[in-house]
Amino acid sequence: MIKIFLYECKRLLWNRFFFGILLITLFYGWQVLGSITIMGVSHTAPFSPWSFGDYLSRMVPILWIGALFFLTFFTSAKARRVVVLTDAAPVIPQRYAMARCAAAMVGTGLLAIVCLGESALFYIRCFGWYEFGELLAPALITLLPPLVFALGSGWFLGQIKAQIIYVWMIIPFVCMALPLPDALELWNGNFFTEYPLSLGILDPDFSIPVSVISVQGALLTVGFAFLTCGVRKK
């Protein structure tokens, strides 16, 4: 099981695609930090949880695409042909699926860590600011649910038809173009810019409405459910 996992990690991470999406993530993230985050959002400091959350919400579409691209290594026609060989091996097929799913999680997690690390470097270099514990809440609420949902739904849908994954990649961009309800504003990028202003005070303490937490929690749960179903489906 461990050998399969390490092999799949090597296959995902040691290739031109990973380094390409990594460079795109770094370049786009630095542009956002240097042109938008540095100004602060909604009259808050650049290193406030609001500005940091806005930065992460702008990075979610790139991370979403990266997560789904990782899954194409396992749902493509070539990968399906390999399944014929792995099914003949003395290993339970679900273990192969678990190892591949874990490898995709590692790849997606590394991209997310790169985003976080780049922002940390930006804050240290530009402001000499080190209070990163204050940014944990916006990081978890902004990144964890959509990325788990991307992996889970992409894994499940890709086993139905591989091409669906490529269509699924545009979902964040569709959400950004739609006037979503307040509870879904994390998905169109408006939450961190509009909610602080609605509180009626200058530079408010970071808080998240229960409705937003409920939606993100539901997405996280559904994402894990899709992953479980995808692993069990042969």
Sequence spans of domains, the chain: 2-232
Give pTM, 2 decimals.
0.90
Cα 24–chain centre separation: 15
CB 142 within 8 A of CB 55: no
Percent of the chain with pLDDT over 70: 90
Mean pLDDT of 84-88: 49
Mean pLDDT of 24-46: 94
Q: How far apart are the first and last CA of the chain?
A: 17
The pLDDT assigned to 12 comes to 85
3-state secondary structure of 161: coil
